[in-house]
Every structure is written in C-alpha cells, then in structure tokens.
Structure 1
C-alpha cells in the first residue's frame, strides 16, 4: 500500500498541502474538491479551477513550490519567437521546455516537469556558456508556445500574395480551394495590427496558411458577408451565416461566424466537406467487434443510442455513418439539428431556428407526429429535450443523439441529474458511445522503430501493462510535404461502447454513480477509450504520443487485450 501512495498521488498531496498552508483555499474547499474528484474521476484541481476558488497563476505557483523551483508565467511574460526557436523542436517537445528569459550570463528555461532526468544535460549542450535555471510553467502554457515550430502550409493563395499581384476579393475562392485540398475543417482569419493571418485547422491542429495585408482585408471580409447574407455595415456585433460553395461541380456547405475584436473582425469558416459524407464504420475507426455491437443495438425497433464526447470529437460523423447504414426507402428517417451539417438523400432534416421558436424540443415534438421510424436529435442540451427524447424512444421510435460527457459511464448519472426518471431511462437506453479523435500516421513518411520493455517503462511508465512482448515495434511519421512536415495525415476515432444490458438497466433504477456503471460495463466486456487507442497504436495507425494527447490510461488494470 505504501508504494501506491508514493506514486502519482504524491505530487497532488504536495500541491494540496501548499494550497492549505498558504491559505490559497480552505480545508472545506479541499474536502469538497476530493468528494467531487471521487465522484467524477477527475482531480481536485479541476474542481478548484471550475469553482473559481483558485486561479491558474496561484495553481502554477503552488505546483512550482512543490517542485522547489520558481514559477514562470508564460502568459504574462510571453517568450519571443526567437526565444522559442533557440531550443530545437525535438528537445523542446521531448522535455516540454521553452526559453523563458535570457541575460548576459544566464538563461531561465520553463517546463511543466523540472525533475525530468537528462533534461539539464540536454539544455546545457544548447546553452554551454550560460548559467542554467529551470522554472515551472503550466503544461498548457508550455505547449501553446510550440505553435512557433509549425511551418506554414504551402498554399496557392499565399504564392499569389507573394507575387505582389493586386489582391482582389476573389482571393477567397483560392483560400477555400486550398482549404479543401488540405481537407481543413475550419478557416480562421485573424486580424492583427498590420496584417491578417489566415490559418487552416487540419487534423485538429491550426496551421498558418498565409497572410494578407490589412488594407486588402475589408474587401475580402465584405465578399464573405455578402455570400453569407450578412450585413456589411455591421462591424461591432457578432454575426452568423451560411454559404453554399460550388467547387468543381460539387457543393460544399460553409458555416460563417464573425466576431469583432480589437484589431478588426475575426472570421471563422467551418467547412462541411464531401469527404466526410461517405464515411463507413471502418473509416471512422470502429473495430469489427464494436461494429457488431453497434449493429445489434441499431437493429432494435425502438430505444435510444447516445454518442458522447467534447466538441469536435466526431460525434455527428459517427451518427451519420450509422444513419447511412439504416437509411432505406421503407424507413422514415427525420432529424432536428443545429445546424444541419450534411445533407443526406432520403432523410428529412430540420434546421433549428430560434427566431421562429423552432428549438430542439419544439422540433422533436413535431417530428414525433410525422410517423418517423428513426429520429436524430443533434444534441440533448436541456431537461426538456431529454424528456421528449426519452418518451419518443419509449413510444416505438429508434432515437440517436449526442450528449456532452467525459466518458460513456458518466452519461448515465448526468442524464439522471437532468431530471430524467430512472425507470424511463432504464427502459429506453440501449447503448452509450464515447469517442475522441486521434491523428493518423502519415502513410507517405511512416517508419518503424523498435523499443524494449525497459525503454518503454522508462519513457511511458503507465503503458507497460498494455504490452507483453519483450521487443516492441512502434510507428511514427518523419514529416514530409504530403503531411505538412507533421508526421500525421487524417484522423479517426477511438471508441468506448457500453451496451445497456439487464444488469445495467437494474442499477439505473437505483441512481448509480459513473463508477458503478463502469464496473458493470467492464464485467460485461467493455473496453475504455485508452484501450481502443492502444490497439490502434499496436496496429501502426497512430502514435503513443497522440493517444496520450487525447486519452488518459484508466485507473484499473487493462483487460486481456483483444
């Protein structure tokens, strides 16, 4: 037992002691935080920050004190691009280190783990003539500086701009064309003092695509507003619109959001490309075993299937893949969405419209009177929508929806907390799916590397139980022109499926915690998000680093790997 206490919890205990000793929080606050952490499988820090009992700066100072080093606030004293690039990218990412301050004879390097072995040796090779001091900074602040290492995408519109040609509003057509080529999900127009930075979100990561002189931006902005049917004389209010863009005979739906900032109006365009609409279960990452479970649940004449996950985790794509398999002439499929992301032939899709009071709840009431077999509700956001959805599933309809929850087990207590009667939920819920998106290793620059069990245990201590072989082979991407030098190209999902069987239905009647739900699901053979990701790592689909970016290893020991 003593060994367990000396593992990861030690650092949290140190932080807790410092927070109490310095009166950052009260003993009652810590008690509430520990209770919350037990119930939600989170940390006391998440509770304290969420309840605004602690600021990020105070947290950083407390953690720095637990390490016995000073705190470097990378938000207040932001390092320059030259400072960041002073440490080679490979070293910076390996140790999550950034050059924080430089003096004549000394440097301060910030990292989120000052106790990393070999880090000091590696940094002294970079700064051989300087006295080196290591400081602590929050992990997300350190990683935010790594954007400086990203190389701009080689876009056609940036070459047009570099050629000193007249920048016409029609340049937006080239920008959209480039975004489709790179399969970007979003285009960002970020106004700055003298220019506008254009970035594409590719495989979940924002990358710079080009820059437009500020004097040409107004014409581009007005063209976007006209095409999206927005007011061109409005510069101080947020506006939302949509564009139907035709490219090479194909229609692409664009969602436009414009908000005023200090340096001008920022535009974000969401691209709903054709390359998403044709996805199958295999394309999105479902294993054969999980496909079978989902197929069995979706063949039932009534009930509810929920897909959970954060914004941008591919929930809608999963539901459309499911509907594509079920959408047949003899079936009436209807949806209420905000917005309608993909138009599907043979499916009756309704767009939420707040101006006409067409909300999820009102739309769902109307759909039930349209004699549907299958209903898609874009999102369950409130108690009213949840109650109508459950009743629709109870009265002979198969209903699919998305729901915001950290994992599949948490969805059950969250729905009960919204006020859904336990006996109604137990009668209707057939399956809960949780998912996250991971980037795929680029097939053009993929290479293999061997690693022993000892090396794996040293680099990733928590992963050793998931690999039984003495010699392991992992895959990575070197980085090439095809993937924009990232080593990744494309994304798919990792999944966690909980079929709701007899035992789960019985415990739902007793208002269970997420832990109780997960324990029963495990006994029934459910695997966690992380375990599904490990399978994809073993198959050379993604990397360990990418998996750890989106999913944490579960507290329990892994099941026998499939």
Structure 2
C-alpha cells in the first residue's frame, strides 16, 4: 500500500510518502520525507549553471513539443519539473498536471491526482486534459505506450508537454520511447530536449579539507595524474554540523540533450544509444559525469559521490 501523511513540525509543512509491504515477519515500511518548507521551486536555485538555465528557459517558452526529465527515483526530477512550471505560471497560461501523487500544491495550476483503482490512469487523464484547453501539460511519468502516444498527440496539436522517464541518461530516453513503440518519425517531430539528472551530496563546508587522491581513486573517474594537475580535491572529515557524515545538503547534476537535425537523422536511422550520445557530445552536450567533475573541481562535492551517482560516458 502507498499513502501520504501531512505534518506540521515546528511551523514547517512536512509530507511523508509511506509505502508498506507485507513480509514473512511483518510489515516492511518505508517513509520518504518531503520537507516542503525546505524546497525551493525557483529555477535559479536548483543548481543549473547559467548556460543550462538559459537553455531551460528557452524550452519552457516553446509553444509545443515534449520535454523529458529522466533519472532514478529520488533524483530531483519532480522538483525540476515544478520549477519549470512555476517559471511559466502566470494568469494568462493554463497549466494542467496529472501526477501520482501530487507532490507540491502550486497556486494557479490545475493538478489532478492519478487513481488507477477507479480508472484514472495517466493515459485517461491526459486524454481528458486535452479537452480542457491547456497551454502547458505535465504528465508525471510516461509508463506505457498509450501514455506516450497521447503525449505525442498533444505535442502535435500545439501543446508543450513535460514528463519523466526512468533511464540512466538523456540518450537512453530516446531508445526507451522507441522500445515502447513510438515510431521514430513521431519522436523526432515532437521531442525537443531530454534532461537527465542526479543528486549528489555537498561536502560539509565546516569540516572540509584538502586531500590528494591516489592513482586508484583517480582511475575510478578514468583520470590520470596529469589530467588533474593543479586541481584541488576536498573531503569532509566529519563534524557536529554534518553529524559526522562529512556531507551537508545536496546539489543536482544535469545533462541536457537538445534535439538537432543530426540527432534526428541518427534516430531515424536506428542509431544506438552510444552513437546518439557521441553525436550529442560532439554538439556540446555535457554528460552527468562531466557535470560531476566540475563540482568536484569547484570543491562542492567529492569523488566518491560522483563515482557513485554517474557512469562513464
């Protein structure tokens, strides 16, 4: 079973997402804490660098198309999507979302919770939304072919659609949609961009210290000693502020793949994920690992965090 608990702790609104599962020895319970008082839906505050922020703002203003945000559960996809909608939210723009569940309540946006037990699925909800004259649509997740097809239909009829997928990186999302059954010519005509993201922990500013990584550690990033000459690395030794963990807070890593004529041609030709990724990198795409390295060099996070959350591209 899944459920939600709303609490008010010391004047701060806190949501608990609760999941229970019966086991041989009793209930297994997992609770995800969403501190709404700590969440900023300001696009400038989610960790985008100035170049990426400019790209995202241009995407939000597009009159039609599909914008996908991809990553595992808990990688910050919802916060990114809501920040995009919050940026676009004004009295002249009708925004409708369908979610499972509704994570944040935003004034001025029509939000519809999914309830599959009574037939309110993503696909059914999205069909109904198209009859409500929306300007921008958020679909919590593209889970099946029917939802993907309706999202494509919405895009082709003059709507901008935001949604999520669960893939390892941006290029994989294209292959995922093809595997679902979306024809390549429809995909290339509708998808404008794919944003992959991960969350890594920030090294604690109160106890961080410089250190010299070993060659073995550098190999985990596929770097050599000459690659990092002149660079400074940090780790958190642990203190009261960070409860001895060496980390305090999190920051997002972003990988933004903009669709281009070259990428569209590759997709139409049935190119592999690696071929699409290579072409995207040649056109300037920064991978998740690249973004992680920048934060390592800036002293924001550690090698261990980036190795754990990203893969070599």
TM-score by length of 1: 0.53
The aligned residue for residue 193 of structure 2 is 431
What is the rounded CA distance, in whole Å, between the counterparts of 2:297 and 2:145 in structure 1? 41
Q: 1:505 to 1:470 in 2, by over 3 A?
A: closer
Q: Deviations over 1:110-149 (max 9, x none)?
A: xxxxxxxxxxxxxxxxxxxxxxxxxxxxxxxxxxxxxxxx
The aligned residue for residue 276 of structure 2 is 517
Equivalent position to 1:271, from 21, 33, 46: 33
Equivalent position to 1:301, from 54, 63, 79: 63
Equivalent position to 2:162, from 400, 405, 411: 400
Q: 1:264 to 1:480 in 2, by over 3 A?
A: same
Equivalent position to 1:498, from 257, 268, 286: 257
8 Å contact 1:441–1:476 — kept in the other structure? yes
Q: 1:269 to 1:308 in 2, by over 3 A?
A: same
Q: Deviations over 1:402-460 (max 9, x none)?
A: 001111111111111211121111111000111111111112212223x3xxx653532
Q: CA deviation at 1:282?
A: 4.2
- Give the match's secondary structure for 1:472: coil
* Structure 2 unmatched runs, 5+: none
8 Å contact 2:40–2:46 — kept in the other structure? no
Higher-Rg structure is 1
* Structure 1 unmatched runs, 5+: 1-238, 555-562
Q: Deviations over 1:282-326 (max 9, x none)?
A: 432211111112122221111111011112211111111111111
8 Å contact 2:200–2:309 — kept in the other structure? yes
After superposition, the CA RMSD in angstroms is 1.9
What is the rounded CA distance, in whole Å, between the counterparts of 2:225 and 2:256 in structure 1? 19
TM-score by length of 2: 0.93
Write 1 or 2 for the structure with the bigger share of strand.
2
Q: CA deviation at 1:504?
A: 1.6
Within 5 Å, give how 1:148-547 maps onto structure 2.
239-449=1-211, 451=212, 456-461=214-219, 462-464=221-223, 468=227, 470-547=229-306
What is the rounded CA distance, in whole Å, between the counterparts of 2:309 and 2:31 in structure 1? 24
Kindly report structure 1 stretches of 4+ aligned residues shifted beyond 6 Å: none
- Give the match's secondary structure for 2:6: strand
8 Å contact 2:13–2:37 — kept in the other structure? no
What is the rounded CA distance, in whole Å, between the counterparts of 1:437 and 1:355 in structure 2? 32
Number of residues paired by the alignment?
312
8 Å contact 1:304–1:390 — kept in the other structure? yes
- Give the match's secondary structure for 2:232: strand
8 Å contact 1:283–1:492 — kept in the other structure? no
